Amino acid sequence: MYAQLKRHLLKDVDFNHDEIQAFTNLLSHLKLNKKAVLIQPGNTVTKEYYVLKGCLKAYYIDEAGQDHIIQFAIEDWWISDFEAFFNAKPAQLYVECLEETELLGLNKLDLEQLYQTIPKFERFFRLKVTKAFVALRNRVLSGLQNNSKARYKEFCEQYPHLEKRIPNYNIANYLGMSPESLSRIRNSI
């Protein structure tokens, strides 16, 4: 049993011991090194991943070869190429470890069966995806506002202490600004 995952589950839904156990039984444990690539474009994506420890980035490489970070994931976050996972399409994203990382993988077919036997997990994942949707919409909105300082502050709230763990250029890329602009903003706060 994973105490951290149990807390994560109980934050949103009042699961009992057996329900948590049924969920935990479905998970596969993964240990990955820094720079390991979990998903790459073209992959079939059958799992989403809960982060026990470590840090990952999901990014897209455009036709010009430029990379764009779409999401970070730290402890207690879920990560995958979600379009590939939900819609059974080939992956478009890379998902890569920025630190030594421990994950719990959840298979889509197992999850579908779990929904049938314990419908409370419908609620849990409805709440999770709703939060992800609102966070993404906020990111789109704050990108439109063109206020770099506000965007950086939002980033620090969303990913506490992450700025001490990963290179500046990754954060600048995620925020859509140059590393120099990011340094200026940090110095001004």
Kindly list the residues in this chain that would bind a copy of itself in the complex (CB under 8 A). Answer: 60, 62-63, 68, 70, 82-83, 86-87, 92, 115, 119-120, 122-123, 125-126, 129-130, 132-134, 136-141, 144-147
To a copy of itself, the closest distance from the beta carbon of 42 in angstroms equals 15
Q: Which is nearer to a copy of itself, 42 or 119 (CB)?
A: 119
Instruction: Confirm if 83 and 39 have CB atoms less than 8 A apart.
Output: no
The amino acid present at 141, given as its one-letter code, is L
* H-run or E-run covering 50: strand 47-53
Q: Which is nearer to a copy of itself, 30 or 61 (CB)?
A: 61
Helix 3-12 and helix 17-24, axial crossing angle in degrees, nearest 10: 120
To a copy of itself, the closest distance from the beta carbon of 162 in angstroms equals 20
To a copy of itself, the closest distance from the beta carbon of 33 in angstroms equals 27
Report d(CA 27, CA 18) in Å as an integer.
15
Q: Which is nearer to a copy of itself, 69 or 162 (CB)?
A: 69
Rg (CA), the chain: 17
Q: Which is nearer to a copy of itself, 53 or 68 (CB)?
A: 68
- Please choose, from the candidates 75, 76, 43, 40, the residue with its C-alpha nearest in 3D space to the C-alpha of residue 59: 40
To a copy of itself, the closest distance from the beta carbon of 164 in angstroms equals 26
